[in-house]
Structure 1
């Protein structure tokens, strides 16, 4: 029963990823059709992410009242309707109206499924869960590229994705009884979470945000999602306007970036059996930074494509591993609250940073895109390493306290 339910959860995360990469892939064509400024895509993306932040913040109460299964079904249905609204959009203002339910639906299902998997499944399932988000994010630009290359409108691409979302919503509706059964039958817990004792039991009155290292963790999430979202939204525009690629080809190249995230997370699920989360996070950040540097250097287009793939592969393990490290870093007592903070800050990064780049690019050139990716990747690496040093010092101090305070 738990395995069947896990398959349903993976399908739900595919539906979460499908819309995320569509706007960036289609915007070079959409911009011309609507006669909109370049930075409009950033505002649309910010609207979507803003809805996601709001629904994430209130998701705890909604999930407790209605359950993860029902919330996942309704959220998928909401995003399907929003995507259908993009298909019928007569103007940019209509796009902004449809962006609101698109973001609200995404936030609720994201928070709910992450919490459910963290509570009921082992560590490697978290990486595989986010790998299936990458499946959806990879399929989206591929479908959009086919419609653009075929001479049909980008709106037909949105219509096709909306149809897939409606099918996934029906599947979630038919499998609602599995959620309660899976919750009762599934006793598989993360071994790492069990081994992670309550580090902070002695600090019962300490607010989660005041725990040492939490702010650095939040900064790491901010820079991670800023880099991931900026790559997905503006990568196609960079390739069209700077590398002179056709819009359809640029959309396919962006799909390789999302494919890198997808494949990387699938592989990470197996690597977690041998390598700890901190090492995987560090390795991913170094690979992502190397890929970003390739985008920045004036090399032929083949190196740019390699840069897109490397950034995707590097980003792959970072997000799921940081999520799974939360109980180990800060204790299980506060992990749920801190997890919510991390998701909210992550969405804040994806809300504002792409818009900031779009604003700067519209007043200069989209050629600043690779420079911004390098800065974001470097900032993420530095904040994460500073957090690791702080946590290592805490571990050493805790070991000393245990040694000298243990009764002889």
Structure 2
């Protein structure tokens, strides 16, 4: 049963990544057929992001009432329906309407799945599962590109992915009994480092879930604001890195656009490969060490981009290193949440963490674009370094708070 449910969860993580790159890969064709400005993709993206933020805030209540398995299945069904709606939409306004259930489904499944894995599986599975998210995110542009290349149109690309999501939804509903049988089990974690920490984690994870927490109650939990800021800073840094890498290489380092796009994509390759490799050492190192290691590697990569070398090779290598350093941070922060704040609070915390991540990834890259337009694209590594330092400082502050309360 354990292996079967794990396979279902891996499949669910692929479904989580599948829709993420569809809009970007299909929009160059979509906007001309819809007869709207190219910039209107940002409107759809903002609606989707708003939906994910809202559903993340309410994920604690939903999961407590219906369970992680049902929330995941219904959320994937919601995104499948929204993607089908995209495939039959013939106007920009219909796409905006379909973007609402799209975002609501994505945010709920993200928070529910991450909390379930953090509670019931070890750190290595969290790394590998997020690697599988990357598989889904990488597969959707190929599906869209195949449909466009065969002359089937962007709508067929959305239709194809929606059919895949429907199949996954059916599997998720069939697997609901497996989720219930796993509720009271947990694969042994690796974070505690001493007897006091082991006892604290035991007390936390055995605590009975109480009522859903309000946002104000969450902020009052000791150390909670710091992990939220850490997640915000990380997501802002990761998304800003990926979105503006090509522009920096072309406008500041004067690289050919084709070559810049190729090397910018290596950033995401570094994340995917890094998460796969981290899975082999995650249980031995522990979440705290993974976050510190990732932060150090990211800092080294940013310095390679920041320092004005006479050749572009260090900057290109720096982007790959940043991606590799990003790999363990997101999964480790999620997986450490029950350990830091207790099982009874983890769903609430992870839901707000997801919301903070979406705020960072939604608003910070456009804000940097505004700064770059007014001041210069040379700010790119400086802004990344600011987010990196903020992430490290708040993460270490959280560790000191937990150390003071006897976590280690």
Give the whole-Å Cα distance in 1 for the aligned partners of 2:343 and 2:391: 24
Determine whether 1:129 maps to 2:129: yes
Q: Which residue of 2 aligns with 1:345?
A: 356
Asked if the contact 1:49–1:347 (Cα under 8 Å) also holds between the matched residues in 2, the reply is: yes
Question: Any idea what SS the aligned residue of 1:273 has?
Answer: helix
Report the CA distance shift for 1:173/1:212 in structure 2 as closer, same or farther (over 3 A).
closer
CA drift of 1:113 comes to 1.3
TM-score (norm 2): 0.79
Moved more, 258-267 or 315-324: 258-267
2:385 to 354, 374, 386: 374
CA drift of 1:223 comes to 0.6
Asked if the contact 2:85–2:98 (Cα under 8 Å) also holds between the matched residues in 1, the reply is: yes
Moved more, 171-180 or 154-163: 154-163
Report the CA distance shift for 1:278/1:175 in structure 2 as closer, same or farther (over 3 A).
closer
Give the whole-Å Cα distance in 2 for the aligned partners of 1:89 and 1:234: 30
Determine whether 1:260 maps to 2:270: yes
Determine whether 1:195 maps to 2:198: yes
Ranges in structure 1 where 5+ consecutive residues have no aligned partner: 400-408
Moved more, 107-116 or 234-243: 234-243
Report the CA distance shift for 1:353/1:149 in structure 2 as closer, same or farther (over 3 A).
farther
Cα deviations across residues 268-322 of structure 1 (Å, max 9, x unaligned)? 2221232132221111112223334445566767655534432221111111211
Question: Any idea what SS the aligned residue of 1:221 has?
Answer: helix
Report the CA distance shift for 1:187/1:310 in structure 2 as closer, same or farther (over 3 A).
closer
Q: Which residue of 1 aligns with 2:2?
A: 2
RMSD (Å), alpha carbons: 3.7
Asked if the contact 1:120–1:188 (Cα under 8 Å) also holds between the matched residues in 2, the reply is: yes
Cα deviations across residues 221-271 of structure 1 (Å, max 9, x unaligned)? 111111223344455666787744359x83x65654333222222222221
Moved more, 296-305 or 309-318: 296-305
CA drift of 1:353 comes to 1.7
Q: Which residue of 1 aligns with 2:394?
A: 383
Asked if the contact 1:24–1:232 (Cα under 8 Å) also holds between the matched residues in 2, the reply is: no
Asked if the contact 1:124–1:270 (Cα under 8 Å) also holds between the matched residues in 2, the reply is: yes
Q: Which residue of 1 aligns with 2:37?
A: 36
CA drift of 1:128 comes to 2.1
Give the whole-Å Cα distance in 2 for the aligned partners of 1:322 and 1:245: 35
Ranges in structure 2 where 5+ consecutive residues have no aligned partner: 208-215
Asked if the contact 1:55–1:105 (Cα under 8 Å) also holds between the matched residues in 2, the reply is: yes
Give the whole-Å Cα distance in 1 for the aligned partners of 2:236 and 2:47: 15
Q: Which residue of 2 aligns with 1:216?
A: 226
Asked if the contact 1:141–1:255 (Cα under 8 Å) also holds between the matched residues in 2, the reply is: no
Asked if the contact 1:137–1:258 (Cα under 8 Å) also holds between the matched residues in 2, the reply is: no
Q: Which residue of 2 aligns with 1:47?
A: 47
Give the whole-Å Cα distance in 1 for the aligned partners of 2:30 and 2:249: 16
TM-score (norm 1): 0.79
Q: How many residues in Structure 1 have an aligned counterpart in Structure 2?
A: 390
Determine whether 1:245 maps to 2:245: no
Asked if the contact 1:196–1:327 (Cα under 8 Å) also holds between the matched residues in 2, the reply is: no
Give the whole-Å Cα distance in 2 for the aligned partners of 1:16 and 1:318: 19
Moved more, 222-231 or 295-304: 295-304
Report the CA distance shift for 1:355/1:96 in structure 2 as closer, same or farther (over 3 A).
farther
Question: Any idea what SS the aligned residue of 2:285 has?
Answer: coil
CA drift of 1:335 comes to 3.8
Q: Which residue of 2 aligns with 1:354?
A: 365
Where do residues 383-402 of structure 1 align in structure 2 (5 Å cutoff)?
Answer: 383-395=394-406
Asked if the contact 2:119–2:338 (Cα under 8 Å) also holds between the matched residues in 1, the reply is: no
Give the whole-Å Cα distance in 2 for the aligned partners of 1:12 and 1:97: 25
Asked if the contact 1:138–1:255 (Cα under 8 Å) also holds between the matched residues in 2, the reply is: no
Give the whole-Å Cα distance in 2 for the aligned partners of 1:21 and 1:146: 14
1:270 to 280, 290, 297: 280
Give the whole-Å Cα distance in 1 for the aligned partners of 2:42 and 2:392: 25
CA drift of 1:151 comes to 7.7
CA drift of 1:27 comes to 5.1
Asked if the contact 2:190–2:286 (Cα under 8 Å) also holds between the matched residues in 1, the reply is: no
1:328 to 339, 342, 350: 339
Q: Which residue of 2 aligns with 1:20?
A: 20
